[in-house]
Structure 1
Amino acid sequence: MIPHLANQYLCTGCLACVDSCGQAALTKKNGEDGHIYVCYDETLCVGCHRCEKICPAINGERYASNEINDSQAYVAYCTEETLYERSTSGGVFAALARHIISHGGYVCGVVMEDNTAHHIVTSKLEDIPRMQGSKYIQSDMSGIYKRIAQLLKEERKVLFCGMGCQAAGVCSFFKNNRNRQNLYVVDMICGGVPSSLLVKKFMENEKEYSSLVGFRNKGEYVLSCLNRNGNLVYLSNKRTLPLMGFFSDLTKRYSCGNCQFVGIERLSDMTIGDYWGSKIDRQESVAIVHSEKGKALLKELDDVKSYPIDWRFVNDNYRCVIGKSYNNRRLQRKIMPWLFSHLSYASLCGLYGCTFQNPFLTMIFVYNRVVSKIQRFFIQRRKKIIVNRLQQNQFNKKLSAMSNYNGGG
């Protein structure tokens, strides 16, 4: 019987199903929209349906919710300047990575090579800088699950860091692994992954740059590249296609437009992301711990300062709790593959708000801004409801704890 696989609207490209198949009936493919999907060969399939049970998009297991049971939010930042300076925000991931590697473990994180992103597994401290910084491209997870499985079999400690959907794939893949306690899963607050076509078109047409390096410099969203002389250049005053395409929310995966993997409470051990309410002269991170293992790991970091906060931080980072973008049905998303295969680079830049060369492109830009503001209005309303509920939940837990303490006295 042919297995039921996630379609293009549900598939997250985590590739857990591919590594789960012992017959190589599933392989990675790059879709016309520039996103990673899965190709199925029925001649190799033996009908074990393991892929269905592993796939976090269709196996029915809930990865995240906005109902608090055990999770606690902290503000954290790394005090080791070298790690901090190379990080996008507070440097918590870098501190976690160094801690795990220094204690004989392995880290699985994302690096940029040849203008693409992919996960690597390493035990080398010198690889940590490569894994630092935001990468607004979906990473290729090919073979990662098998590599982690081998390390767990050897009873090694492994730290995995990725998007919520990728972390969900890891949690599902290793749910019943007998050495699961050695696997630390950290996911990141994610705004959705834009199409790789954005970077591809940029590199094909911006000939003065040899490779793309990053998308942010701390709190500033700015594309950085190496020029032909090998010098690092920050394109601070340029509206670039990779960044503007990301901000437009019109090239992301369909699954990102209705993400199943957002929420305060998650199956991962820890969720990290930007903290925008910092009151000190330093970029900080949010670290939400979901398990005793995650809490213990955060406390073990000598070079990280942290303190608990309430859930109001969500006001500045709504993608932690809301995974709806409302753009999946818009024409610019539906015909995106056609646009990138038929329009000129200049037209694409105009279409995604990089340039305004004629009245038509200006009208499209204004239209997109209006639609975005309308959507944000509804998001703000929903966010307010969620934050109020989280605050009330937290208050009730404190009240219950005080009541139990007084009763016990």
Structure 2
Amino acid sequence: MESPFDNIVNCCGCGACASACTHKAISLIANAQGFVYPVIDKDKCIDCGLCRKVCGYGKTELLHREKQTCYGGIDCSIEKSQSSSGGIANVISQWIIKNGGVVYGCALENSEELLVPRHIRVQEEKDLRKLQGSKYVQSDIGETYIQAKKDLKNGLLVLFTGTPCQIAGLYSYLRHSYDNLFTIDVICHGVPSKQLFQDSVKKFEKENRGKVKSLLFRDKSNFPALNQKIIYNQKIIYNQKIIYNQKINVRYYTDSTYYTCFLRGDIYRDCCYSCPYAKQQRVGDISLGDFWGIEKTNPEEIRQNGGPIDPKQGVSCVLVNSDQGELLLEKVKNNLYLFNSDIESISLNNHQLNHPSNKPSCRGHILQQYEKHGYDGFLYAVHNAYKWPDRIAKTKRFIKRLLCIK
């Protein structure tokens, strides 16, 4: 078995090559760190070269070059509370399904007693809840590219959401433009491996003697939004608030080592640190993310200043990158509150619109220890790398809590 590509470091793991191979000669296999890469079965391969042709990674021609318009916005309905930011994607998804279409996106589902991040096909409005919320882990595309192509050929409206490299993979796999296709890319920091994520969940289950049923990285019942909600054995665990047996315990998100390492950028896929899509020119028809810093850039929109937006409930930034994206937003804008913005204001606190995430010097050692010694080795390496910074941060938080009590 061998790779279809000379430089495997530039593989984003989208799976377009495997989807395109009609002989099923390509499989996505996880390496020791859990990152999946395409591998060719030479017994099945006919050397047609299609896998290399459909690889969309880094192709600049896939980036939209139409005039870009920028907004901030929210969905004013209650559904927004299930979303990580302003709920824009959910409103668009509802319109697609109400008009007979289908939506593809990442869900975190239970499968064989594991939480599995994977793309799914949604055709009923009630199932859109599965796609809401951030998933800070790489999603398995599976056969959703293949399914989406069938839906497009059958004339259905199709909305495909994902990371920019996943959207690029879809376009390159299709090799044809469709008027009934709409895409949304998320402003992405980078993706850890599914294996590392699942090992972190197993560690939690062992320590708490319960089976995890669901996990929300950013539950908005406790602000700020960087908290984590885990449901296991009828108990609800928040990164900031833990409720169990009528007791409440409050802690900060840094108590989750996996989550902390994600936010620091310690555990992303290799190519994420040189991502060709971490720029203002985008690959999706619409790009969505958090509108960080709205208090400074658009203070008049804040509720305390007389505006309609409560930043505690999340605000989306909306980049419309194509004529197709403009058409889609026009269909749903009456269900949204939108205000005009610009790419400078949005990119001010969304650094992935300016450059890829920086690779920490400790990343290699952390993942090497995970590769050699499993999740305990990962924890040990992280602890040593951040021992003193973590102690200082925890001391500062403790002092702040004391001051609040007094």
**TM-score, normalised via structure 2 length:** 0.80
**d(CA) in 2 for partners of 1:110 and 1:343?**
26
Provide the secondary structure at the position in 2 that maps to 1:9. Answer: helix
In the other structure, the counterpart of 2:32 is 32
1:167 equivalent in alignment to 2:146: no
Choose which of 182, 191, 194 in structure 2 pairs with 1:193: 191
Q: Which consecutive segments of 4 or more residues in structure 1 shift more than 4 A?
A: 366-370
Deviates more, 1:205-214 or 1:14-23: 205-214
The amino acid across from 1:52 in the alignment is R
1:45 deviation in Å? 1.3
Change (3 A) 1:40 1:335: farther
| Residues paired across the two proteins, number | 351
1:320 maps onto 2:327 in alignment: no
Q: What's the CA shift for 1:350?
A: 4.7
1:350-389 aligned at under 5 Å gives the runs: 350-353=380-383, 361=384, 364-366=386-388
> Which residue number in structure 2 is paired with residue 405 of structure 1?
none
The equivalent of 1:235 in structure 2 is 239
Helix, strand or coil for the counterpart of 1:261?
Answer: coil
Gaps spanning 5+ residues in structure 1: where?
Answer: 354-360, 371-409
Report 1:123-138 matches (<5 A): 123-138=123-138
Residue 339 of structure 1 and its aligned partner are, at CA, apart by: 2.9
Aligned partners of 1:71 and 1:291 also within 8 Å: yes
Shift in Å, 1:266:
2.1
2:9 paired with 1:9: yes
Give 1:58-69 correspondences, 5 Å limit: 60-64=59-63, 69=66
Deviations 1:85-113 (A, max 9, x none): 11100000100110100110000011101
SS in 2 for 1:339: helix
Distance 1:89 1:201, change over 3 A: same
Q: Amino acid of the residue matched to residue 260 of structure 2?
A: M
Does structure 2 conserve the Cα–Cα contact (< 8 Å) formed by 1:216 and 1:222?
A: yes
Counterpart in the other structure of 2:340: 308
**Percent of aligned positions that are identical:** 25
Gaps of 5+ in 2: 241-250, 303-309, 393-406
TM-score by length of 1: 0.79
SS of 1:226's equivalent in the other structure is strand
Counterparts of residues 10-409 of structure 1 (less than 5 Å): 10-57=10-57, 60-64=59-63, 69-81=66-78, 83-114=79-110, 115-177=115-177, 180-207=178-205, 208=208, 209-211=210-212, 212-218=214-220, 219-228=224-233, 230-236=234-240, 237-238=251-252, 239-278=255-294, 279=299, 280=302, 281-282=310-311, 283-301=314-332, 302-310=334-342, 311-327=344-360, 330=361, 332-333=363-364, 336-342=367-373, 345=376, 348-353=378-383, 361=384, 364-366=386-388
CA distance in 2, matches of 1:3, 1:216: 36
Separation of aligned partners in 1, 2:290 and 2:16 = 27
Superposed CA offset, 1:363-409 (max 9, x none) = 64447999xxxxxxxxxxxxxxxxxxxxxxxxxxxxxxxxxxxxxxx
Report the residue type matching 1:175 in the other structure.
Answer: R
Q: Does the 8 Å CA contact 2:185/2:283 hold for their aligned counterparts? A: no
**Alignment CA distance shift 1:69-1:123 (3 Å):** closer
RMSD of aligned Cα (Å): 2.5
Q: Deviations over 1:174-201 (max 9, x none)?
A: 2315xx1111011000010123343233
**1:91-145 CA distance string (max 9 Å, x none):** 0010011010011000001110132200001111111111000000110001111
